[in-house]
Amino acid sequence: MKGGSSGSISDSANGEASGNANPVDHIRLTPDLIALAQGGACVILGAREADGRPVVGIGVGARVDAESRIRVFLDRRPNERLLAAIESGSGVAVTFTRAVDHASFQVKAESAKTARADPNDFPEVGRQCVVARDELNELGLPPQVAAAFGSFNPTSVVVVELTPAAAFMQTPGPGAGSPVRT
């Protein structure tokens, strides 16, 4: 599970600049965004619980198919509340951030599905974790800490599947918060 990004810190001017993205069925992600999402980025998820409160979760990796459908891999144990919210029909937000340069974008979907993980995905999830671990090492995190952040437990991995309806840049600086080119 990749969580810590040694200060890959953005407080990004994220989110809809206009606040009303086009209600299209879904958007297509550009190759550079797909590369970012599958390139060992820090993956965080948001949802809404039944009482209206937000809940946040952490992913370990992601895969994006040709239709821009995203499968986010995450450990069930620390994400029970997030998964319960999604299973209850909550909308979902997922933010991908590359530790080394803070490049970041967020996708949103009105709903998502949870599913069991396919072991055939584990080599790719493992590869993404290694990339993340190496980047965190490069940023100066102690090796044991980077190793912990860049690890996942195949026995408890589940999947959140979503089709993004909107995507927004979150890299800090000019342009942050704007809808991404799709």
Q: By the criterion CB under 8 A, which residues form the site for another protein?
A: 1, 3-16, 19, 42, 44-48, 52-56, 58, 75, 77-78, 90-95, 97, 102, 104, 106, 108, 110, 141-142, 144-145, 148-149, 151, 168, 170, 172-173, 176-177
Nearer to another protein, 11 or 31 (CB): 11
Question: Position of tokens 């080599």?
Answer: 123
- The three-state secondary structure class of 11 is coil
Nearer to another protein, 28 or 153 (CB): 153
In this structure, what token pair is assigned to residue 2? 């990749």
- Shortest Cβ 66–another protein spacing (Å): 25
In this structure, what token pair is assigned to residue 92? 């979902």
Nearer to another protein, 51 or 120 (CB): 51
- Shortest Cβ 21–another protein spacing (Å): 10
The DSSP annotation for 73-88 comes to EEETGGGHHHHHHHHT
Q: Which amino acid is at 137?
A: N
- Shortest Cβ 113–another protein spacing (Å): 16
Rounded Cα–Cα distance for residues 176 and 16 (Å): 10
- Shortest Cβ 54–another protein spacing (Å): 4
Rounded Cα–Cα distance for residues 66 and 51 (Å): 36
Nearer to another protein, 5 or 38 (CB): 5
Rounded Cα–Cα distance for residues 66 and 144 (Å): 36
Q: Which amino acid is at 82?
A: L
Nearer to another protein, 31 or 157 (CB): 157
- Shortest Cβ 46–another protein spacing (Å): 3
